[in-house]
Structure 1
Amino acid sequence: MTVLVTGATGFIGGALTHHLLAAGERVRVLAREPEKLARAGLSVAEVSRGDITDAAAVERAVAGVDTVYAIAGTFREPSLSDERYREVNVEAVRLMLEAAQRHGVRRVVHCSTVGIHGNVTGAPANEATPIRPEGIYEITKAAGDQLALDRARRGGGPEVVVIRPAPVYGPGDTRLVKLFKLAARDRVILLGDGSPHYHMIFIDDLVEAFRLAGTTPGISGEAFIIAGNECPTLGELIHKIGRLTGHPEQKILKLPAGPVLALSDLCERICRPLGIDPPIYRRRVEFFVNNRAYDITKARTRLGFQPRIGLDEGLARTASWYKEEGFIA
């Protein structure tokens, strides 16, 4: 059976494609820029060129496929218009589901995000925690998530399973470079008090969760939060990275986040209509103040998911790769 992966030139989609190929799966990828596959070390026999927002390209890619791993999407990019976010994170989901239904696809595994649950208060969030998206990225991801679940629950089409990953890290990722650069020093300036949790998932464990979502029977119409075993506070995480990068006696200066958050709102209101990246924006400040703690009981019991990479090992492997690539000293 052929499986289709979208987003194979990205971090998560690329890792999943490597895993599926190594397992002997027959893999097809839908890629806007197929030349990036070789640079990512991927040798895929079936490559369909096109964008997930192009109905004709999606139609071609889905024909003859058993399972779709719909990983592609746009991440938080302040210069993008709200319309582009909706096009990629909502309408492209609709296109994929409709094409999958026409071509008799068995199952679609849709990649969402824990970010749709917003700032977590009280107990760690689980799949029943209210959806409280806080920005255009989260708002559109929440809409795509709901669209996928609604389609599955109506029946008459492919099975649909939704994966909501916690922040993903590991060798090959560049989105957490800023965090490692911040922490890899003797003196750290931190917004807020460092008490919010920052629950993550190592890339190898996330890839295994996607495989389980694609193969486990009887889970159509369900969503699963995927995160690691350990849920450190941001302060604890910074200290761990400091020790791993040769700064065990790290000192942290804590600054109030409120004024910076207000300034970030002002910058975004001015810069986004002009199509330019603001020098500071709300998401970066919220990184320091939003609580991200998640309960993965459902994934353990329904998927049989068990994270295998501990936080210390995952951070060490990531820090080593960052050093090799010259991101940190």
Structure 2
Amino acid sequence: MPRTFLVTGATGFVGSHVAEALVARGDLVRTLAREGSDTAILDRLGVTVVRGDLTDPDAVRRAAEGADVVIHCGAKVGDWGPVDDYRKVNVEGLRSLLDATLGRPLDRFVVVSSLGVYEARHHFGTDETEPLPDHHIDGYTQSKVEAERLALQYYRKQKLPVTVLRPGFIYGPRDRSVLPRIAGRLRERSVIYIARGRYALNTTYVGNLVDAILLAVDRPEAVGEVFNITDGEFVSKRTFFETIADGIGAKRPRGSIPVWLARFVANWRESVFRRKNKPHPPRATQAQLKFAGLNLDFSIAKARGRLGYAPRVSFQQGMKAALDWYREAQK
């Protein structure tokens, strides 16, 4: 029998792929979408759209009514701005969603978090036993740590069947945010390697993440657990940027600075922008340093063992799909 899924964030990058996969396997899908948001893809898929957002408890309750499974992809993302702005959506919005599912049967509540919840340092095979820091470098990752803790609290105290997934850098078709921004920086030749680009990036193809989400829904072993999710292969920052540069016909980056200098510049620029109360981030931030300059290698052994997760799409295959979509979208 088909089940009813509530997928938050389905008008976005990850959520639209999740909704598509669920419809393809015969499930019923609904989502919560802000007034005026583009639902063209969802309309074609036959997804039921409830208008509202995560900050509106009444809309959240309407969207959750009768759902057998919740897949929570919706979030406020970014690396700049007051932490309370992120908490309003990522923590309190999640609380409203959790509360809306209490007191009735629910098969699973999957929370899509981020590998960004770990400390902003080099990682070499870090697994889920690593404790999370109480204080983070930006509002987004701070709120994601708090959101994870809240969801797991509902598992322990309210017996909600919660599973938390921590993907790394997500890429693939329909990315209208990060890939276009990186492509623009490459075209203007403003990308500079940190530590010669030799460190690992925690790449996660969107299709591999969707596979992990469906496994988390279907596997009883997933309840109450946290899983790191990546492509499971080493991809250096240099390989990442060169692959995109080659795919869009831009010149490959050449310059490089050491990590210590990148950290100094990021701290300095952030302090200046905060002092001037700038509404947008500088080009060098601690979050960008983490993305471009730190070794981000995380173990997915737990997901392989307990979920049966086996990444189907390699980085080269996934980036080809992402770049093919990007070039078509530019026409």
Deviation at 1:241, TM superposition (A): 3.2
SS at match of 2:197: coil
Question: Which of 250, 263, 272 is residue 267 of structure 1 equivalent to?
Answer: 272
SS at match of 1:52: coil
Change over 3 Å in CA distance of 1:161–1:42 after alignment to 2: farther
Match of 2:91 in 1: 90
Q: Which amino acid aligns with 2:97?
A: M
Contact 1:34/1:49 (<8 A) preserved: no
SS at match of 1:312: helix
Deviation at 1:135, TM superposition (A): 1.7
Q: Which amino acid aligns with 1:226?
A: I
Q: Does 1:277 align with 2:280?
A: yes
Change over 3 Å in CA distance of 1:47–1:325 after alignment to 2: closer
Match of 1:113 in 2: 114
Match of 1:288 in 2: 292
Alpha-carbon distance in structure 1 between the residues aligned to 2:253 and 2:25: 45
Number of residue equivalences? 322
**Which 5+ residue runs of structure 1 have no aligned equivalent?**
none
Contact 2:163/2:224 (<8 A) preserved: yes
Alpha-carbon distance in structure 1 between the residues aligned to 2:35 and 2:310: 34
1:35-55 CA distance string (max 9 Å, x none): 511156643352211111211
Alpha-carbon distance in structure 2 between the residues aligned to 1:44 and 1:77: 34
Change over 3 Å in CA distance of 1:158–1:130 after alignment to 2: closer
**Which 5+ residue runs of structure 2 have no aligned equivalent?**
none
Match of 2:262 in 1: 257
Deviation at 1:17, TM superposition (A): 0.6
Q: Which amino acid aligns with 1:116?
A: V
Alpha-carbon distance in structure 2 between the residues aligned to 1:259 and 1:316: 35
Match of 2:138 in 1: 135
Contact 2:8/2:73 (<8 A) preserved: yes
Q: Which amino acid aligns with 1:85?
A: Y
Change over 3 Å in CA distance of 1:243–1:186 after alignment to 2: farther
1:100-124 CA distance string (max 9 Å, x none): 1133323211111100013343532
Change over 3 Å in CA distance of 1:42–1:87 after alignment to 2: farther
Alpha-carbon distance in structure 2 between the residues aligned to 1:56 and 1:294: 38
Alpha-carbon distance in structure 1 between the residues aligned to 2:291 and 2:253: 20
Q: Greater shift after overlay, 37-46 or 206-215?
A: 37-46
Q: Which amino acid aligns with 2:322?
A: T
1:127-151 CA distance string (max 9 Å, x none): 1122133321111100101111122
SS at match of 1:206: helix
Q: Does 1:8 align with 2:13?
A: no
Question: Which of 303, 316, 319 is residue 315 of structure 1 equivalent to?
Answer: 319
Deviation at 1:239, TM superposition (A): 3.0
Deviation at 1:290, TM superposition (A): 2.5
Question: Which of 37, 40, 52 is residue 38 of structure 1 equivalent to?
Answer: 40
Deviation at 1:315, TM superposition (A): 1.5
Q: Normalising to structure 1: TM-score of the pair?
A: 0.89
Q: Which amino acid aligns with 1:293?
A: D
Q: Which amino acid aligns with 1:8?
A: A
Deviation at 1:304, TM superposition (A): 0.7
SS at match of 1:105: coil
Change over 3 Å in CA distance of 1:41–1:196 after alignment to 2: farther
Change over 3 Å in CA distance of 1:51–1:194 after alignment to 2: same
Contact 2:90/2:147 (<8 A) preserved: yes
SS at match of 1:224: strand
Match of 2:308 in 1: 304
Alpha-carbon distance in structure 1 between the residues aligned to 2:72 and 2:144: 13
